[in-house]
Homo-oligomer: A and B are copies of this chain.
Amino acid sequence: MSLPDVERGRRLPPDERREQILRCASELFAARPYTEVSVSEIARTAGVARGLVNHYFGDKRGIYLEILRRAVLLPVLEDAVPAGQLDGVPLERRVELAVSWFLDSVEPHAASYFTILGAGGVAEDPEVARILDEGDDLAARRTLELLGLDAERSTSRAAVRAYGGMAKATVREWVRTGALTREQAHALLRDVLMAVVATIEAEASGHGSR
């Protein structure tokens, strides 16, 4: 499992060391919930003294937050669909694209994603909530842009953020439970996103206010 500790005491440039510890910790947090991963274990895995982890991240929570931040933003940021070449594309096709994009980008990390997010312990921490919200909001903006809707309307974003809750739950049903196939998950998310768009547009035109 662990090699005979590659060269203890070896000096590394701070960035590298930081990154190395972060990688090790990331794997551990992806495999086991927050409380069951000890700082000692992170240090041991990284071949480093316990104190060094605290030195770089201050706090166990600190290193967790950094990992969480990456895990949340990573699927959002990677290969977003270029918004330029979508001018003539009809709404229904855009919805299809949004769903496919989401399922594709989530699939590889899905397993570990839930473990990191689950975090039985610190789930409610306001800082954690902030990071999660940030990720959800960014994803909502991307989605609205891809759909050609106004990403600045706060109620629209709220609706899409809420939709995000279903998107995650659907992935869960697909990847974890296996209760849905990818095709079923896709169909469900597609149909529902169409309904969300319809509701958003009704809200926007019908009541007219921001």
Contact = CB atoms under 8 A, between A and B. Distances in A.
A33 B157 contact: no
A47 to B, nearest CB: 26
Contact of A117 (B114, B120, B165, B168): B120
Interface residues of A, number: 51
A192 to B, nearest CB: 5
Given A117-B120, A118-B119, A166 B177 contact: no
What 10 pairs across the A-B complex have the smallest Cβ distances? A118-B123, A165-B169, A166-B166, A118-B124, A195-B195, A158-B179, A33-B124, A162-B170, A117-B120, A162-B169
Nearest to A172: B122
A28 B198 CA distance: 42
A194 B88 CA distance: 29
For the residues of A in contact with B, the DSSP-based class is: helix
A102 interface: no
- Considering residues A32, A162, A196, A199, which has the most beta carbons from chain B within 10 angstroms of its beta carbon? A162
Contacts of A177: 158
A180 B165 contact: no
A170 B166 CA distance: 10
A163 B192 CA distance: 9
Contact of A155 (B163, B184, B192): B184
